[in-house]
């Protein structure tokens, strides 16, 4: 039998969502709040008003915490002992509405500066940048995954349009850092935006590269992965041109199954097929890979980058797999991709490309962290909202890669909220301090306390000197 309870609404000194204070403090320690404030300084018209940068950070924390609408700021606002003064819903709307394209570009730059500072802080406490994994191996350098996703809307919103899947909404293009799960860049686009638009891919990739600290952008191998939508000559040529700027970039992109590719597959001898491998490096049952490059003459003449290789995988189709007429004729499913990586086992290169599928999990999680619901009819406000959703994803990724260990460092945001962010606590004061006392029986109490302790070890950002007025 459960004990009988009497519920009242008069509790004091109790806080919910106490773990989300960790995200708010992380935004301060990394300087994200200050950088947002500096980027929006011209929007603050009176000294007594809410700092626009603080308003945006509170919105990002709210999204990371699982909020869906601007009104969900009430969770933070109604707990001033824990979160301090938080803007009203109307004030938050006014801040979002005042952000134009110039200010939005400033927010992106602010995120890049905060990321640079955080990566340095992580190095200072001995936490290394995680390696991306594929086929049971660590991949060298950084891995950037680009992918677009359809987001349905259910009201009349500016620039929303019919999608190729019969829905109505937006079609943002996004870029994630596979090493850490950080959301590097994204552009909001109408629902009818092309999936393989080279100019959009180039813009988002350039935005993503601008987010990477200089020491890594110019001194580390960078692999750019996309599905077949990124397989355009202009986009791949742009990736190749980055080498002239000191960026060691390579690509791995899905390749269209053209008639020439199908003919090359039919011309392959039996001995050309090699066993494929799983994500853990073990053999993949009933799957094989082969290289088609030598059977596809004229790639360079057709405008593809020099050194591009085309590799194909075949396997028995799994239940529900979409098969082309070519697949049905052979009884197998064929998928091709292109890469300019000159060396490596075919099976490893193919498994490395297949790991691009992780970006779908990133996007799914981001849709549960603000990306899945846009608040306004105005496209400009929704574009800012997307940027805040990316910042929320960053706060979660930074927390997991630096402040947490074990299962919590790998948990999805939904599990992280259940275990840490939404924990209740008692607020007490003493010794000129504010204490957040988590219940002694909560299973993850020591993990949360350790995360706050680790955060306290990060070097604090140095205040920027204020310009002195000139004397006349």
Please check whether residue 32 is in contact with residue 391, taking contact to mean a CB–CB distance below 8 angstroms. yes
Contact 248, 223 (CB under 8 A): no
Convert the pLDDT of each residue in 26-66 to its tens digit: 999 999 999 999 999 888 766 557 899 999 999 999 999 99
Other beta carbons less than 10 A from residue 3's beta carbon: 4
Q: What is the pLDDT along the chain (472 residues), one digit of tens a residue?
A: 888 888 878 788 888 999 999 999 999 999 999 999 999 988 876 655 789 999 999 999 999 999 999 999 999 999 999 999 999 999 999 999 999 999 999 999 999 999 999 999 999 999 989 999 998 899 999 999 999 999 999 888 999 999 888 899 999 999 999 999 999 999 999 999 988 899 999 999 999 999 999 999 998 999 999 999 999 999 999 999 999 999 999 999 999 988 899 999 999 999 999 999 988 888 888 899 999 999 998 898 889 999 999 999 998 877 777 777 677 667 788 999 999 999 889 999 999 999 999 999 999 999 999 999 999 999 999 999 999 999 999 999 999 999 999 999 999 999 999 999 999 999 988 888 888 899 999 999 999 999 999 999 998 776 555 445 444 4
Cα of first residue to Cα of last residue in the chain, in angstroms, is 81
The residue written with tokens 């004229």 in the block is 298
Cα(269)–Cα(289) distance, integer angstroms = 12
pLDDT in tens, 357-399: 999 999 999 999 999 999 999 999 999 999 999 999 999 999 9
pLDDT of res. 463: 58
The answer to pTM > 0.85 is yes
DSSP per-residue codes, 385-402 = HHHHHHHHHHHHHHIIII
Query: Smallest Cα–Cα separation from 117: which of 32, 43, 30?
Result: 30
Q: In the chain, count of helices (H) and strands (E)?
A: 17, 17
pLDDT in tens, 258-296: 889 999 999 999 999 999 998 888 888 889 999 999 999
Q: What CA–CA distance (Å, rounded) separates 174 from 211?
A: 13
In this structure, are residues 311 and 291 in contact, taking their beta carbons and an 8 Å threshold?
yes
Return the exposure string of 392-405: e unless at least 16 CB atoms fall within 10 Å of the residue's CB, then b: bbbbbbbbbbbbbe
């Amino acid at each position: 039998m459960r004990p009988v309870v009497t519920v009242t609404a008069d509790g004091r000194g109790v806080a919910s969502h106490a773990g989300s204070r960790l995200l708010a403090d992380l935004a301060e320690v990394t300087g994200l709040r200050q950088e947002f404030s500096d980027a929006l300084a011209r929007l603050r018209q009176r000294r007594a008003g809410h700092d626009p940068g603080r308003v945006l950070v509170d919105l990002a924390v709210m999204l990371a915490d699982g909020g869906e609408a601007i009104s969900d700021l009430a969770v933070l606002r109604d707990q001033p002992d824990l979160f301090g003064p938080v803007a009203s819903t109307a004030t938050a709307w006014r801040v979002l509405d005042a952000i134009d394209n110039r200010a939005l570009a400033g927010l992106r730059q602010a995120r890049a500066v905060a990321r640079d500072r955080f990566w340095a802080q992580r190095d200072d406490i001995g936490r290394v940048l995680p390696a991306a994994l594929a086929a049971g191996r660590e991949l060298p350098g950084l891995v950037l995954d680009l992918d677009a996703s359809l987001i349905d809307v259910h009201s009349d919103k500016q620039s929303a349009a019919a999608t190729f899947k019969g829905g109505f909404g937006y079609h943002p293009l996004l870029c994630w850092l596979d090493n850490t799960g950080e959301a590097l860049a994204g552009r909001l686009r109408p629902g009818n935006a092309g999936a393989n638009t080279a100019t959009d891919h180039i813009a988002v990739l350039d935005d993503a590269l601008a987010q990477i600290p200089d020491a890594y952008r110019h001194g580390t191998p960078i692999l750019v992965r996309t599905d077949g939508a990124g397989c355009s000559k202009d986009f791949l040529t742009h990736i190749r041109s980055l080498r002239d700027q000191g960026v060691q970039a390579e690509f791995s992109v899905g390749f269209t199954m053209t008639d020439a590719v199908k003919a090359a597959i039919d011309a392959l001898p039996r001995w050309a097929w090699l066993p494929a491998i799983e994500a853990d490096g073990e053999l993949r049952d009933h799957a094989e890979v082969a290289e088609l490059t030598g059977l596809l003459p004229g790639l360079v003449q057709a405008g593809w980058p020099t050194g591009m290789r085309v590799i194909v995988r075949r396997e028995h189709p799994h239940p529900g797999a979409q098969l082309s007429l070519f697949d049905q004729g052979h009884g197998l499913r064929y998928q091709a991709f292109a890469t300019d990586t000159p060396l490596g086992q075919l099976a490893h290169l193919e498994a490395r490309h297949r790991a691009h599928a992780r970006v779908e999990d990133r996007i799914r999680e981001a849709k549960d962290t603000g990306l899945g619901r846009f608040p306004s009819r105005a496209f400009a406000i929704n574009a800012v909202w997307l940027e805040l959703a990316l910042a929320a994803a960053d706060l979660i990724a930074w927390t997991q890669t630096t402040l947490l260990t074990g299962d919590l460092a790998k948990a999805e945001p939904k599990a992280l909220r259940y275990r840490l962010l939404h924990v209740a606590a008692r607020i007490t004061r003493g010794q000129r301090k504010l204490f957040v006392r988590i219940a002694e029986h909560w299973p993850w109490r020591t993990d949360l306390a350790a995360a706050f302790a680790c955060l306290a070890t990060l070097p604090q950002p140095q205040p920027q000197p204020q310009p002195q007025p000139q004397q006349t």
